[in-house]
Amino acid sequence: MSEYSAALLEVKNIGKSFGAVRAVRNVSFQLFPGEVVALLGDNGAGKSTLCKLISGAYQKDVGEIFWQGKKVEITSPDVASQIGIAMMYQDLALVDEVDIPGNIFLGRELIKKIFGIVPLLDKHTMRQETEKLLARVKINIPDINRPVIKLSGGQRQATAIARTLHAKDAKLLILDEPMAALGVQEEQKVIQLIKTLKEEGRTILVVSHNLDHVFSVADRIIVLHTGAVAGIVDAHKTSREEIVGLIVGGGKRNDQ
């Protein structure tokens, strides 16, 4: 029962189809506490779909998911968040016309009661909490009260990450291409942030197309090819060539 019981998350033989497209096929892997695992694969390989199966955004057709050794049914993002899983989606899902605090607290707005009865949005606390979260992401946004449509790509990304961090006590953070829209400096800040989250003992599953980023943060690498696992490798015991080979479908390796 050594490795098995120590896994934070285990997925076993999960699959998901969209009509005739088998987006995720018979995928199995484990994630352990405090590790950074990169999820790689070509466009359309099934990375986002797999992440969404874990975050409750999609429901698996087959397979099992275990959380801290217990079988779970992650039937919605709310269920995921209750057990300690938070995801930052590739398509960001920010509401353009709403400001940063509004986006971070979307769907879980803080309410205060005036005279103990009249419910009102607690904008002051939401703003304070937003400032704190942004300070952690370390990306400078001069005016958090502007609608997010007026922000740069990097600032939007920072907002999306801050929103994921806000999910209370998330033990597993799933980041789907968090560096995609960023400048070089901002990329480095996100990499630093991932390292900090790891030091806090969280597990991070991060999707990226950038092998430099992957090798700078990942402990292990999972490669998907046409929806199936092509490789699960120790990031310190592989090479760019091997990873590229797995991505394009030129082999198999599974260290797990």
Can you tell me which of 7, 11, 40, 48 binds ligand ATP, judged by CB under 6 A?
A: 48
Question: 232: which 2 tokens?
Answer: 């699960």
**Contacted by 133, from ligand ATP, Mg ion, none: CB < 5 to 8 Å by type:** none
Q: Which is nearer to ligand ATP, 4 or 18 (CB)?
A: 18
**Contacted by 23, from Mg ion, ligand ATP, none: CB < 5 to 8 Å by type:** ligand ATP
- What is the rounded CA–CA span in Å between residue 209 and residue 43? 9
Can you tell me which of 4, 13, 18, 145 binds ligand ATP, judged by CB under 6 A?
A: 18
Least distance to Mg ion, CB of residue 176, Å: 6
**Contacted by 183, from Mg ion, ligand ATP, none: CB < 5 to 8 Å by type:** none
Which residues, 72 to 101, sit near ligand ATP by CB under 6 A?
Answer: 90
Q: What is the 3-state secondary structure (H, E, C) of the chain?
A: CHHHHHCCEEEEEEEEEECCEEEEEEEEEEECCCCEEEEECCCCCCHHHHHHHHHCCCCCCEEEEEECCEEECCCCHHHHHHHCEEEECCCCCCCCCCCHHHHHCCCCCCEEEECCCEEEECHHHHHHHHHHHHHHHCCCCCCCCCCHHHCCHHHHHHHHHHHHHHCCCCCEEEEECCCCCCCHHHHHHHHHHHHHHHHCCCEEEEECCCHHHHHHHCCEEEEEECCEEEEEEEHHHCCHHHHHHHHCCCCCEECC
**Contacted by 43, from ligand ATP, Mg ion, none: CB < 5 to 8 Å by type:** ligand ATP
Least distance to ligand ATP, CB of residue 185, Å: 24
Least distance to ligand ATP, CB of residue 43, Å: 4
Q: Is 55 in the site for ligand ATP (CB under 6 A)?
A: no
Q: Is 130 in the site for Mg ion (CB under 5 A)?
A: no
Can you tell me which of 45, 92, 137, 223 binds ligand ATP, judged by CB under 6 A?
A: 45
Can you tell me which of 15, 23, 48, 203 binds Mg ion, judged by CB under 5 A?
A: 48
Q: Is 43 in the site for ligand ATP (CB under 6 A)?
A: yes
Q: Which residues bind ligand ATP (CB under 6 A)?
A: 18, 21, 23, 41, 43-49, 90
